[in-house]
Amino acid sequence: MAEFRKTSALMARGTEFLGSEYAILCGAMSWVSERNLVSAISNAGGFGVIACGAMTPELLDAEIAGTQALTGKPFGVNLITMHPQLFDLIAVCARHQVSHVVLAGGIPPKGSVEAIKASGARVICFAPTLALGKKLLRSGADALVIEGMEAGGHIGPVSTSVLAQEILPELAADHLVFVAGGIGRGEAIAGYLEMGAAGVQLGTRFACAAESIAHADFKKAFFRASARDAVASVQVDPRLPVIPVRALKNKGTEEFTAKQIEVAKLLDAGEVDMGEAQLRIEHFWAGALRRAVIEGDVESGSVMAGQSVGMVTREEPVADIIAALMAEAEAALSQRVAA
Ligand SMILES: Cc1cc2nc3c(=O)[nH]c(=O)nc-3n(C[C@H](O)[C@H](O)[C@H](O)COP(=O)(O)O)c2cc1C
């Protein structure tokens, strides 16, 4: 701890809240953030988060138990707000006395925040704007994550640097705000901590750690890629909405554009109705992240990655990644000119 005195001091509110040594969360990544990576992050002093994704309550139950078998340190569970069994999943977390639940994917449905808090767990929510952040805190969120469009996976339209400037000065003094999106080195962590962040959340930097079960070809694709290869999905027709996702460009991303043009033409010709057309777009990526992460299909699968992917160059143990981030943050803070 003494090694990273300045950084740890700025992280104090975050570490107290998370119960971890460092206020560095590894954001939930579907298929990647399972028991091995999550326990490794928490054992190394960070804060791991299980990605529940589309898991059934039974699968989540097994994953939490499996993680608890590998670490005695705190970790969180990320639940997607539109999961049809959200309240059953909350009950599973409560049964295992999970200390922190992260609600992702939209405004939490009525009663969900209360249900989590009734179990004694803390609730962390994603705040896409300042107004929504304030609303979420009023509704009982204990902490917020603000995530910029540099991030891997599903993204909003605004960059991390702008969100941080809009939200931290307003909320960080009185509330816990964690910053995510595009963070690859400790110097950036130092900067956001100085702006008032309680800590940070990274995904891309941890996805290919030695303890990550991601397929070797998925990891190789990360090591080869540079920032400009991690692109946001493109929408070609306003009638056919596309949920923006940042992933490495590949044959799949090209085919997705072609698919949208093909479906738009069918719609123009009256050969499919709007519902069917939108369904065809929605279904294009079904199972694609699993194909990339687990099967190593990096050509047609969805290789979700953030722009910091260029800073991921080799497979390293989680503990080394965290130590490097903390050392970089500490060096940056130590070099600041004293007033
Ligand atoms: C492969 C991958 C899968 C992800 N899956 C999820 C997910 O299931 N749920 C979620 O809330 N965020 C997901 N994310 C976002 C991460 O939790 C994290 O917030 C993000 O990666 C942080 O930004 P960074 O990638 O720039 O470090 C995913 C990110 C990646 C790279």
Domain chopping of the chain, boundaries: 2-213+312-334, 226-304
Ligand 1 atom at minimum distance from 51 CA: 8
Distance from C-alpha of 205 to C-alpha of 186, rounded to nearest angstrom: 11
pLDDT of residue 61: 98
Among 30, 78, 307, residue to substitute to test ligand 1 (most atoms within 8 Å of Cβ): 30
Q: Which residues of 52-70 are buried (b: 16+ CB within 10 A; e: fewer)?
A: bbebebeebbebbeebbeb
- Report how far residue 190's alpha carbon sits from residue 199's, in angstroms, rounded to the nearest whole number: 9
> Ligand 1: does its nearest atom lie under 6 Å from the Cβ of 45?
no
- pLDDT at residue 93, as a whole number: 98
pLDDT (0 to 100) of residue 339: 57
User: How far does the centroid of ligand 1 lie from the alpha carbon of residue 36, in Å?
Assistant: 17
pLDDT number for residue 199: 99
**How many Å lie between the centroid of ligand 1 and the Cα of residue 63?**
18
Per-residue pLDDT tens digits for 86-127: 999 999 999 999 999 999 999 999 999 999 999 999 999 999
Homologous superfamily, domain 2-213+312-334 = Aldolase class I (3.20.20.70)
Q: Which residues pair with 26 in a beta bridge?
A: 48, 202
Question: Best mutation site among 50, 155, 204, 325 for ligand 1, i.e. most ligand atoms within 8 A of its Cβ?
Answer: 204
| Residue position matching structure tokens 């540099």 | 150
Do the Cβ atoms of 112 and 81 come closer than 8 Å?
A: yes
First to last CA, the chain: 25
Ligand 1 site, residue 308, Cβ cutoff 6 A: yes
Exposed, middle or buried: residue 285 (CB in 10 Å: 0-12, 13-18, 19+)?
buried
- pLDDT of 211 reads 98
Assess whether the C-beta atom of 304 lies below 6 angstroms from ligand 1: yes
Question: Is the Cβ atom of 197 under 6 angstroms away from ligand 1?
Answer: no
Q: 101 — phi, psi (to 5°)?
A: -115, 130
Q: Give CA–CA dist 199/319, Å, rounded.
A: 17
Residue 276's pLDDT is what?
Answer: 96
Residue 171 makes CB contacts below 8 A (sequence gap 6+) with: 130, 133, 134, 137, 144, 177
What are the mean pLDDT values of the chain's consecutive 10-residue runs (339 residues total)?
A: 88 98 98 98 98 96 98 98 97 98 95 97 98 97 98 97 98 98 98 98 98 98 98 96 96 96 97 95 94 98 98 98 98 87
What confidence score (pLDDT) does residue 2 get?
A: 54
